[in-house]
A and B are shown apart, each in its own frame.
Chain A
């Protein structure tokens, strides 16, 4: 971070109104991260049997739903909208068309997420007849309170408006700059948003046509295979929606931090186009074990999935090559000797590099998940959360945290309180995740299921391998605790940063790619072509399976009941050991959090 170069202005100096929205989005994101981490540590200790005094097992699923929804919907997507707003405005070097529209989508998203959050957290309070213990996947016929589905719908509509806002800004820029190539960051934002429109249309349809009317009692039943398939139509591309902001940072920010330049702008565009095309027609790979879907459809989905490895493998090459270029610019030599000349003391750099390294490990376990036959060994075991804690839980989350150390000063003019704490924090995350995720993968191979409050059973013991079930539990608990501490350090460092005075002279510039956009074929920028191909691929992958599901089971299912998730009297005995004090604490924290978010939102609007 030594080279201030010719830059004098930070993003805040140049675009104060936009910087405010980016900050608000990040604050929403970090609030969700805080809540998610609290639920994460409760879960880790409970599930592994280290400490079960905080919640009782029937409420584990409220915690799990909150952990999932707050982290993978709220934390990730709020960060994304902040980052994308920054990227569009920065790379087009023009303000948003109408900041009121921008605040509208922000408030819709915040409002929607608050509704969904309340419906989940109400599950802790017996006095409130509301619950949404349906986990992040909300598989029918388990049924959540209507507020849960309504909030999700509002949130998604807000995200659509955000995309429209960025598209509109780009169109305005194009008027002003005819015949210019779309700047790389804006290109990444636009392709990612096209993918999001295609993917989220299915879950919006599922919620608005089936789940919400059903939860309101307007229709009697739903077809579980149909709503599940519509969920995964969205559920796989959403992982790329989490990942694309991280990729944007790896491609456009990381090389500059390393003192280098992006290797190739055209290939970065190719990678984003590949993600746009291939992210969606793969969702059935989450349903390899579903009865009611023919083997051929599963095979098509697997083929697309395997080809989706390609853009990630290309990214691995480009990122390493760009960073190596930076090191060699600094005088690095040798086959590996250049590694020593990288800025390892910079938490932004080290965090992103460690995130990328772990993403490679996540890629390997992902290949196992994607293999139709080996998947039987690990489907719905704790291997799967082991996998996605490497991908969304590290490649994405750690990159976001690391990037914050770089980006936050640009949008606030306040230097980070402590780089040393930041560096310690990102390394701690890496160590904690290495322990936790590795042990989760190993337990998965023993057959230990995911999504359960008590993975030990009375009737049998797990096979003994990898140190055995108990020892792996300890590793998971230690890893989870380190991750929680790392989150506390991150949030703490950021809060202290907010107390820093504003300074000048901390502006950073991003350098252009070695091989610039002029080397890229013009066709790459013709978004209409890619929309056309992406939609065609989705239709090819989904038209027949959806038609078959509806034909076989009917739109409203072949006769399936409704199962609201209110706590069952049959397991009420377990509830006797509840700790009401802990509830109130968690509730108070959560509601306080939401108030803060609202206050932050309305404060910055006014």
Chain B
């Protein structure tokens, strides 16, 4: 089969581009440690979330020095808890599930983004910085009221977090 010289060069450059793209993602995973939403958590009965110790009461919990876990339930048409309140400069692991249909969970303008699928638990770990209020949107169509489904992520100062935490639990 005759392949023109220019075509061979083009082919070689194309393969280089493809390998570069694959390499950059691999580097992102191995180097900076960009983790993917995966199957780390076991399946769950979406009709019985009130029997699950994480999702019966959706909340934020401290699990280590400067480390927090947030258990979030997406539903038609909102998120619980909302706002999700976490202290500044901390590492937050979000566990997100849905109690009805498939939803999205996206902290608007950031790469904190996952699907919330009934029966599955998505886990996303984020680093939060300065105090700031973020919007959370459902980015998967979930029914006639989909456009009204929003939540909030409040990153607050240490002090505010302490006082609020003392205020509504233990």
Select one of B25, B42, B110, B137 contacting A449, CB under 8 A.
B137
Smallest beta-carbon distance B163→chain A, Å = 22
Q: Does the CB pair B119–A553 fall under 8 Å?
A: yes
Is A291 in contact with B146, judged by CB distance below 8 angstroms?
no
Q: Does chain A have a CB within 8 A of B56?
A: no
Q: Are A291 and B144 in contact (CB under 8 A)?
A: no
List B33-85 residues whose CB lies under 8 Å from chain A.
34-39, 41-48, 76
CB of B12 to closest CB in A, whole Å: 11
Is A466 part of the binding interface, using a Cβ–Cβ cutoff of 8 Å? no
Task: Please determine whether B102 and A291 come into contact, CB atoms closer than 8 angstroms.
Answer: no
A4 at the interface (CB under 8 A from B): no
Residue in A closest to B38 when the chains form the complex, CB atoms? A295
Chain A residues with Cβ below 8 Å from B123 are: 291
Chain B residues bordering chain A, tally (CB within 8 A)? 72
A228 CA to B103 CA in the complex, in Å? Answer: 13
Chain-B contact segment, one of A306-314, A496-504, A587-595:
A306-314
Contact with B along A429-462 (1 / 0, CB 8 A): 0000000000000000011111111110111111
Establish whether residues B138 and A449, one from each chain, have CB atoms under 8 Å apart when the complex forms: yes
Contacts of B18 in A (CB 8 A): 306-307, 309-310
Q: How many residues of A contact B (CB 8 A)?
A: 85
Tell me whether A468 is interfacial, beta carbon within 8 Å.
Answer: no
Cα separation A10 to B61 with both chains bound (whole Å): 75
In contact, A449 and B10 (Cβ under 8 angstroms): no
| Chain B residues positioned under 8 Å from A580 (CB to CB) | none
Q: Are B147 and A453 in contact (CB under 8 A)?
A: yes
- At the interface, yes or no: A173 with Cβ under 8 Å from chain B? no
CA–CA, A448 and B109, complex, Å: 8
How many residue pairs between the two chains, A and B, have CB atoms under 8 Å in the bound complex? Answer: 236
How many whole Å from A174's CB to the nearest CB in chain B?
22
- A548: which of B21, B39, B112, B143 is its contact (CB, 8 Å)? B39
Contact residues in A for B2 (Cβ distance below 8 Å): 264, 266, 515, 519
Query: Complex: how many Å from CA A223 to CA B117?
Result: 10
A447 adjacent to B109 (CB under 8 Å) = yes
A348 to chain B, nearest CB (A): 26
Q: A384 to chain B: closest CB distance in Å?
A: 10
> Does the CB pair B139–A568 fall under 8 Å?
no
User: Please, which residue of chain B has its CB at the minimum distance from the CB of A309?
Assistant: B18
Asked if A380 and B14 make an inter-chain contact with CB atoms under 8 angstroms apart, the answer reads no
Query: Closest B-chain residue to A293, C-beta based?
Result: B39
Contact A302 B144, beta carbon cutoff 8 Å: no
Query: Which of A349-357, A368-376, A526-534 touches B?
Result: A368-376
- 25 pairs of residues in contact across A and B, judged by CB atoms under 8 Å: A57-B147, A58-B145, A224-B101, A266-B2, A267-B3, A289-B115, A290-B117, A291-B121, A306-B22, A317-B6, A321-B7, A379-B139, A380-B113, A380-B140, A381-B139, A446-B109, A452-B139, A457-B135, A461-B135, A552-B42, A558-B119, A559-B46, A561-B47, A567-B144, A571-B145
Chain A residues packing against B (C-beta within 8 Å): 57-61, 64, 133, 135, 139, 141-142, 223-225, 228, 263-264, 266-267, 287-295, 298, 302-303, 306-307, 309-310, 313-314, 317-318, 321, 367, 370-373, 376-377, 379-381, 446-455, 457-463, 515, 519-521, 548, 552-553, 557-561, 563, 565, 567-568, 570-571
Q: Hey, which bits of chain B sit against chain A, CB under 8 A?
A: 1-4, 6-7, 10-11, 14-15, 17-18, 21-22, 24-25, 28-29, 34-39, 41-48, 76, 100-102, 104, 106-115, 117-123, 133-135, 137-148, 150-152
